[in-house]
Structure 1
Amino acid sequence: MNQLKGKLYLLCAFSLAGTSVVSARFVTGKLGNFTITAVSLFFALVFLVLLCGRQLIRCLSQMSFRDFGFLILQALCGIFLFRMFLLNGLRNTSAGEAGILTGATPAITAILAIAVLREPAGSRKVFGILCTVIGILVIQGVLTPGSGLDLKHMGGNMLVLCAAACESVFNTLSRISALRNSEESAMPSNPVSQTTIVTAIAMVLCLIPAAFEHPIKRLAAIDLLEWTALLWYGIFVTALAFICWYAGIKRCGAFTAAAFSGMMPFTSMLLSAALLGENADWRQWVGGFLIIIGMFLIGSKGTNITLPINRSIRLKEKHFQP
């Protein structure tokens, strides 16, 4: 039952996160990247502070320097760098293609789970990673003779892939933190408080660079649609998605989280077609199909292959019951 709740939380988290590509599309080019991130995080922070109240003070009082360091890294990778790469990438690629390319997150997370967490990998997971890599190459046009690669467009896609890599690092850091807290009980793992602290750290990181983007003048020029996109980006893509994420990752392993992260490209692709009217060509459909296959293979159970496994971390995974 606990695993089922964790999977439902992860499903909600990545479905909401998948709307980030479309909501960001409405404000990209009209506001600076750091301004978009800072304003959306401000909306998220107001919502979260009202939601968690005194729990935040209690959480901060019991937090060690190492706990705070982990949260700084999570804020840096999961919000600051992820959004910087994504927003810059959207300047040179479509929202639909960017959404598909975020499907690389499961494969990158699976590789990190093997390399860092030493989780055992099955042959299906390895094949799933290969499917994801081939799918990305198809979307980029690398495997298509005479495709006439546009270096600017490819550069945009590479930035989106960097965003997916940052999301994967964030996923791995969150799992490490959840495992350590379960053993040491170092910090109360309240999802709302964790999300509030991470959001506040990320907003502070954005404030100084945002000041050089003439934020007041450019914010005064946007209309209701852009303000709605910023509000959605803050409350739903950040606050609610991260609350669901922290609630899910303490109940599920990294491979399960990797599989559910495939909901990001699926949601992005549907919304890009429905709201932005973007059409995908055959390379995007084939590449997207391969990435989705990779997502399901990574999340499935397969026969184990020989890999070095850190027994202490595996015991933590087996013993962990939040």
Structure 2
Amino acid sequence: MTGKLTAYVKIVLAMSIAGSSVVAGKLLVASFPVFMAAELRFLLAALILTPLLLKLEGFPSLNKREVVILLLQALSGVFLFSIFMLYGLKYTTAVEGGIITSSLPAVVAVLACFTLGEKLSRYTIAGIVLTILGTQVIHLTGTLSEVERGAAPVIGNLFIVGAVIGEAVFIILGKSTANRLSPLAVSTVVSIFGAVLFSPFAIREALTFSFIEVPLQAWLLIGYSGIVVTVIAFILMYQGLKQVPASKAGVLTGALPISTVLLSAMFLKEGISLFHLLGIAAVLTAIYLISKESETEDNRQVQTKSDDMQSSKEQSFQEKRSCVKSQNYF
């Protein structure tokens, strides 16, 4: 497996784990207040990541620009994303929450085009179109078939839209630090900032909250959210972003709604229709197109290096012949 293809796989895995966080969030808000659930998640992640970073790499020296970028990432992709997502899941279903995240690839690609100057290749454009079409097919389930919806789906879905915007900004900002800071360093700092941002609101909720009544399943979900979703998914995402343009990473986020729909059916008993399956097939095709492009790019790079080496050898041979000819004159 090529390096760039491996990066694509890491992003797909990261977004699949992120999709599982939608289901976990739906279950968590039934047992915890929103800010407390988010605080416990990122506090746990920070407590795990900080000693790991100190042991493996040491804490990085950050300049003012990097501190601002990481703080903005924590604000957009951790604080705002978690608030909007968790509040949204109180009023809408996990399946609809996953469906709405389908706009993320388009939002990321557009932001990358305007802010980073990244060009959209034909493969990327085709992947974006397929992702949007696939998730719109999934959306037909809610309009052409009878499915159970949330208590206030419009309000809930608007919150999810806010979460999508926050995640898109998070991904774009990630490109600014991916080249110098390690995935572990970024994940640690962002988690610390996230825990700090949530703490005053979580403390206020904790003053009137009964921890004794929380079931074991909810505590296990906090552990899963803090370790797997926050730690492992963050690291995978940043490792992938080191080699993948933000616009292409945006297309691969189509794995998120697929993961959400499948896991919602398994753990929340929310139904899957033919429209869901058709949408999933379209998004998987989009991911294949992006992966196919990575193989083509790698092959071109290998061929270019081979041509350069051959050209260098020929040039060296010609120089030696010229040298021999020059010696014959004396």
Q: What's the TM-score once normalised by structure 1's chain length? A: 0.79
Tell me how far apart the structure 2 counterparts of residues 20 and 5 of structure 1 sit (CA, whole Å). 23
Residue 162 of structure 1 corresponds to 162
After superposition, the Cα gap between the structure-2 partners of 1:275 and 1:134, relative to the gap in structure 1 and judged at 3 Å, is same
Deviation at residue 122 of structure 1 after TM alignment: 3.3
Mapped contact 2:89–2:97 kept (Cα < 8 A): yes
Mapped contact 1:258–1:298 kept (Cα < 8 A): no
Residue 308 of structure 1 corresponds to none
Aligned residue-pair number:
292
Q: Find out whether 1:90 has 2:108 as its counterpart.
A: no
Deviation at residue 271 of structure 1 after TM alignment: 0.8
Which of 192, 199, 211 lines up with 1:219 in the alignment?
211
Deviation at residue 157 of structure 1 after TM alignment: 1.6
Q: Find out whether 1:12 has 2:4 as its counterpart.
A: no
- Once the two structures are overlaid, the 10-residue window that deviates more, 161-170 or 150-159, is 150-159
Deviation at residue 290 of structure 1 after TM alignment: 6.0
Residue 251 of structure 1 corresponds to 243
Mapped contact 2:92–2:150 kept (Cα < 8 A): no
Mapped contact 1:30–1:218 kept (Cα < 8 A): no
Residue 23 of structure 1 corresponds to 24
Mapped contact 1:92–1:156 kept (Cα < 8 A): yes
Q: Which amino acid aligns with 2:66?
A: D
Mapped contact 2:101–2:256 kept (Cα < 8 A): yes
Mapped contact 2:123–2:289 kept (Cα < 8 A): yes
Deviation at residue 3 of structure 1 after TM alignment: 1.4
Deviations 1:251-303 (A, max 9, x none): 221133112212111111111111111114566666666666666667775xx
Superposition map of 1:10-159 within 5 A: 10-55=11-56, 57-59=58-60, 62-123=61-122, 125-126=124-125, 128-129=127-128, 152-159=152-159
Q: Which amino acid aligns with 1:40?
A: R
- Once the two structures are overlaid, the 10-residue window that deviates more, 150-159 or 223-232, is 150-159
* Structure whose CA Rg is larger: 2
Mapped contact 1:258–1:295 kept (Cα < 8 A): no
In the alignment, structure 1 segments of 5+ residues that lack a partner are 182-188, 302-322
- Once the two structures are overlaid, the 10-residue window that deviates more, 116-125 or 241-250, is 116-125
Mapped contact 2:94–2:264 kept (Cα < 8 A): yes
Q: Find out whether 1:172 has 2:172 as its counterpart.
A: yes
Q: Find out whether 1:198 has 2:197 as its counterpart.
A: no
Q: Find out whether 1:239 has 2:238 as its counterpart.
A: no
After superposition, the Cα gap between the structure-2 partners of 1:281 and 1:91, relative to the gap in structure 1 and judged at 3 Å, is farther
Mapped contact 2:109–2:246 kept (Cα < 8 A): yes
Tell me how far apart the structure 2 counterparts of residues 113 and 300 of structure 1 sit (CA, whole Å). 21
Deviations 1:141-174 (A, max 9, x none): 7x969x9x99931221222122122111111110
Deviation at residue 41 of structure 1 after TM alignment: 1.0
Deviations 1:208-250 (A, max 9, x none): 1112223662333201000001110100000111111111111
In the alignment, structure 2 segments of 5+ residues that lack a partner are 294-330
Deviation at residue 4 of structure 1 after TM alignment: 2.9
Q: Which amino acid aligns with 1:87?
A: L
Q: Which amino acid aligns with 1:235?
A: I
Q: What's the TM-score once normalised by structure 2's chain length? A: 0.77
Q: Which amino acid aligns with 2:43?
A: F
Which of 233, 258, 267 lines up with 1:275 in the alignment?
267
Identity of aligned residues (%): 30
Tell me how far apart the structure 2 counterparts of residues 201 and 12 of structure 1 sit (CA, whole Å). 24
Q: CA RMSD in A?
A: 3.1
Q: Which amino acid aligns with 2:230?
A: T
Deviations 1:8-55 (A, max 9, x none): 322322222121011111111322111000011111112212322245
SS for the counterpart of 2:152 is helix
After superposition, the Cα gap between the structure-2 partners of 1:130 and 1:212, relative to the gap in structure 1 and judged at 3 Å, is same
Deviation at residue 118 of structure 1 after TM alignment: 1.3
Tell me how far apart the structure 2 counterparts of residues 291 and 37 of structure 1 sit (CA, whole Å). 29
